[in-house]
Amino acid sequence: MSKNVPGKTKLTIAYTVFQYIVCILLALLSLMPFIIMIVNATRSSNQIQSHAISFIPSHYLSNNMKVLTSKTFHPLVGFFNSAIISVSATLLSVYFSTLTAYSIVAYDWKLKKGFFTLIMCVLMIPAQVSSIGFYQFMYKIGMTNNFLALILPSIAAPATVFFMRQYMIPALPMDIVQSARIDGAGEFRTFNQIVLPMCKPGMATQAIFTFVAQWNNLFMPMILLTDKNKWTMPMMVSQLSGDMYKTEYGAVYLGLLLTVLPIFVIYFLLSKYIIAGVALGGVKE
């Protein structure tokens, strides 16, 4: 048996090295589009058209920024508008969806199954199907060209409700909730001070998904927002790429870089909670 040990050790080391090589290659392959986007943001339109893929930065970053700021819309205004909509919608969506999921998990009431079935039915309906009726409703109540028309509907987020319900069923110990009730804590105090901290990993995951969806949302803002001072970042980038006479590809890539940057920041800020959620899921009682 002792003679076979060195051979097994070499095989294990070789397999480990192979795994690391594959992981490094996959990581580089995943990062390549972002590297190309960053590099192309520093290049001119002619350089990009002649050689679309390059890993060598150029010196046209300031020129591309001038192209962005010389348009009838300002990218920083779009950045600020997108931030207002995305942050507000994310906070409302995650909080109220977690509250709804808590009511489904923690309480036993007659229409609970029917209510959850209704949520699943709404989840299967694409937003585009109801867009015409939604626009007509917003027009009648005077909320077109208003950020609230994009923020308030995020309170009812069936996908987030479903995920948080599935997360709470194994991760939320009802004994602690019952103890808080026995100690005299009200329902909202129990939810805000006990349930929310215990659901941070799941909420962080949904916050990333919701923020990315709201930040990249182009369909509904294009319908509801006609005032250029209220345009979002994706709307501005779409206008850059749709120029009738000439498309400034360097400015387009710079606009895409500014659009993607907040998503990276949000992910890195909340990634520790996602890792904690994965670790929690791997622990057996």
Q: Is the dihedral of CA 168, 171, 172, 174 positive or negative?
A: positive
Q: Check whether 168 has a pLDDT greater than 80.
A: yes
CA angle 172–275–194, rounded 5-degree value: 30
- pLDDT at residue 172, rounded to an integer: 84
**Separation between Cα atoms, residue 23 and residue 46, nearest integer Å:** 35
- State the CATH class of domain 70-281: mainly alpha
Q: Could you tell me if residue 142 is left (phi over 0), alpha (psi between -120 and 50 degrees) or otherwise beta?
A: left
Q: Where does the pLDDT of residue 279 fall: very low under 50, low under 70, confident under 90, or very high at 90 and above?
A: low
Answer yes or no: are the C-beta atoms of 207 and 90 closer than 8 Å: yes
Among 116, 126, 76, which Cα is nearest to 231's? Answer: 76
* The two three-digit tokens of residue 37, written as one number: 């986007």
Q: What is the pLDDT of residue 210?
A: 92
> Any idea what the Cα angle at residue 267 is, between residues 265 and 272, rounded to 5°?
120
pLDDT digits (tens, 9 = 90+) for 40-99: 889 888 888 887 788 888 888 888 888 877 776 777 888 899 999 999 999 999 999 999
- From the list 76, 45, 75, the residue with the least C-alpha distance to 58 is 45
Residue 246 has pLDDT above 80, yes or no: no
Q: Which amino acid is at 171?
A: A
Burial category of 83 from C-beta neighbours within 10 Å (exposed 0-12, middle 13-18, buried 19 and up) = middle
pLDDT at site 66:
83
More confident residue, 84 or 1: 84
pLDDT recorded at residue 25: 95
Other C-beta atoms within 10 Å of 102: how many?
A: 21
With a cut of 60, say whether residue 236 has pLDDT above it: yes
pLDDT in tens, 93-127: 999 999 999 999 888 888 888 989 999 898 888 88
Is the pLDDT at 2 greater than 60, yes or no?
no
pLDDT over threshold 80, residue 207: yes
pLDDT class for 242, splitting at 50, 70, 90?
low
SS3 (DSSP) at 128: coil
Report the pLDDT value the prediction gives residue 92, as an integer from 0 to 100: 95
Kindly report the number of other CB atoms within 10 A of residue 27's CB atom.
10
What is the per-residue pLDDT for 251? 84
What was the pLDDT predicted at 8?
63
Q: Cα separation of 210 and 160, whole Å?
A: 8
